[in-house]
Amino acid sequence: MDIIFYHPSFDHHYWLGAIRKALPQANIRAWTKGDNAPADYALVWHPPVDMLKGRKLKGVFALGAGVDSILGQLKAHPEMLAESIPLFRLEDTGMGLQMQEYAVSQVLHWFRRFDDYQQLKLQAKWQPLDEYRREDFTIGVLGAGVLGGKVAESLLAWGFPLRCWSRSRKSLPGVTSFAGVAELGDFLHGTRVLINLLPNTPETAGIINHALIEQLADESYVMNLARGVHLVEKDLLQALNNGKLKGAMLDVFNQEPLPANNPLWAHPRVAMTPHIAAVTRPDEAIAFITHTILQLEQGLPVTGLVDRQRGY
């Protein structure tokens, strides 16, 4: 079994060593330009076209939860990867817990009005504020896949009304499920905190726009943990400036790194992190990949297979 590996920034020495320990029967190498030797599996992130082009692989593993980058490459270069070759994404591999930590900490930050207290602190004002009520702090999760489901699950213990919206109806204990375009308005009505964990598809691009934001509860909050392409930044800023939105927490952006002249940097009601809500952790990712390869070699069922038409 031959495996090729490519990632523009990961320490390939660590990855190759760990995979060799997990799959001692495999020959694994870091791919370099001009390497046309046979391979059975490819582990990649933003791979060069010539790495995969023409190869008869048993499977390709994207080294992240999202596969939009490789699908975008395939639109421009469909010859890069035959339709018959399975494409896999990392379903959780420690990302679920990271997303839970991020979402819970920020929801509680807003619920306890720490954002307002920070503004008062900057004005040197000692002023206790009225508390928010849990029953008025409905949380809506856009996207109820593996990560969205994990985030909703982590918020259950805090007693907030919870709802989710996705392409198809989900069955999550304690969470009201909405599905399809016809139910999006019902999902948004009364939602105070909107957490985006949608996949990046043509249908979801620009979904968090003026029309959507206007359907949220007044003085609501937006947390974007999925992709920058989901959010129309100018519409978010307008809603913050006119008071429809009270705050935003953004981890992903249309352009990364975010340019220094982007107005999001200076807005007092926008908090940001540099795309770190959930990062690929080598040990968990390697365990998933090697287990999946062993399952494939034995003809057993696997998870994480990407539907290229849906985009996830």
Report the C-alpha gap between 206 and 50 in whole angstroms. 32
Burial letters for 300-309: b for 16+ Cβ neighbours within 10 Å, e otherwise? eebebebeee
pLDDT of residue 309: 86
pLDDT of residue 311: 85
pLDDT of residue 46: 92
Strand segments, DSSP code E, in 155-296 are 162-166, 176-179, 193-196, 220-224, 245-250, 270-272
Structural domains of the chain in order of their starting residue, each with its CATH number: 2-92+280-298 (3.40.50.720), 95-272 (3.40.50.720)
Residues carrying an active site annotation: 227, 275
Report the C-alpha gap between 25 and 88 in whole angstroms. 21
What are the per-10-residue average pLDDT scores of the chain (312 residues)?
Answer: 96 96 97 96 96 96 88 92 95 92 98 97 98 98 95 97 96 97 98 97 95 98 98 98 98 97 98 96 96 97 92 86
State the pTM of this model.
Answer: 0.92
Report the C-alpha gap between 31 and 6 in whole angstroms. 6
pLDDT of residue 122: 95
The residue whose two tokens read 């100018």 is: 234
